[in-house]
């Protein structure tokens, strides 16, 4: 087993990176990969950058260059349900790209051409491990669909559209791209998001204040998951 851990921002991965033993650093396609041992497991950790393209580049590099067998994507996101409040955690049992839209030619919104799926599944084993970790840490966690797109969603109307169209519980900007790469490569994948803003549409006010605390919440879960895998 070799575990790849991806976060979009430094705040999402720096604390994990600092705990890696036998650290080695490699740069691929402008992304720094930090390889070594974390809680007795072989890992490679990277900050991919914001958005689906950076996320996909990072995930594919981890699989092809570093040979990871499992990919965990940690970070923060916005809730789309009243079951998740600030500092709660969304665990993806499936991912969608909410900005993928070929509906003018008759496709369902979100359909990924070539795969012909809207929702891509994640690893049930890793999802169950994440929910177990949350329970042990007394963190409220909900499993469901996480929606990704190259948009920072701040309007209540857009959040309602994503939630109703895809039955999604959380939105963010990288997870579905990573899930897509893992799906086509047959690699186990987990997407975890700590909630940094509410469902009210006031993300621009809450995000700067809450992102560090939400990232720390996500990190605690990732540490617990890795330790117990």
Local structure of 224: helix, strand or coil = helix
Q: pLDDT value at position 15? A: 87
| Residue 59 to residue 73: CA distance in whole angstroms | 9
Which domains does the chain show, CATH number per domain? 2-228 (3.40.50.1580)
| Residue 93 to residue 100: CA distance in whole angstroms | 19
| Residue 92 to residue 132: CA distance in whole angstroms | 14
The residues that are catalytic are 12, 197
Q: What is the pLDDT of residues 92-124, one digit of tens each?
A: 999 999 999 999 999 999 999 999 999 999 999
What pTM was estimated for this model as a whole? 0.92
Q: What is the pLDDT of residues 183-207, one digit of tens each?
A: 999 999 999 998 987 655 554 445 5
Q: What is the mean pLDDT of the chain?
A: 91
Rounded to the nearest 10 degrees, the angle between the axes of helix 203-228 and helix 10-17 is 30
Q: What is the pLDDT of residues 26-71, one digit of tens each?
A: 999 999 999 999 999 999 999 999 999 999 999 999 999 999 999 9
Residue 75 carries which DSSP code?
-
């Amino acid at each position: 087993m070799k575990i790849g851990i991806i976060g979009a921002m430094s705040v999402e991965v720096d604390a994990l990176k600092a705990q890696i033993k036998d650290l080695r650093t490699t740069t691929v396609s402008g992304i720094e990969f930090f390889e070594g041992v974390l809680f007795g497991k072989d890992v490679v950790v990277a900050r991919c950058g914001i958005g689906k393209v950076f996320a996909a580049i990072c995930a594919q590099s981890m699989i092809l260059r570093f040979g990871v067998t499992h990919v965990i994507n940690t970070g923060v996101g916005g809730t789309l349900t009243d079951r998740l409040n600030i500092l709660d955690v969304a665990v993806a049992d499936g991912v969608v790209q909410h900005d993928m839209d070929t509906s003018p030619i008759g496709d369902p919104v979100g359909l990924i051409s070539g795969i012909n799926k809207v929702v891509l599944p994640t690893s049930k084993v890793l999802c169950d491990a994440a929910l177990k970790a949350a329970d042990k840490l007394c963190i409220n966690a909900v499993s469901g669909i996480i929606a990704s797109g190259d948009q920072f969603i701040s309007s209540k109307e857009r959040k309602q559209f994503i939630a109703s169209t895809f039955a999604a519980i959380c939105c963010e900007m990288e997870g579905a791209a990573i899930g897509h790469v893992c799906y086509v490569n047959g690699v186990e994948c987990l997407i975890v998001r700590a909630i940094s803003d509410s469902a009210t549409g006031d993300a621009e006010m809450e995000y700067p204040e809450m992102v560090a605390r939400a990232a720390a919440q996500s990190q605690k879960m990732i540490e617990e998951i890795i330790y117990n895998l």
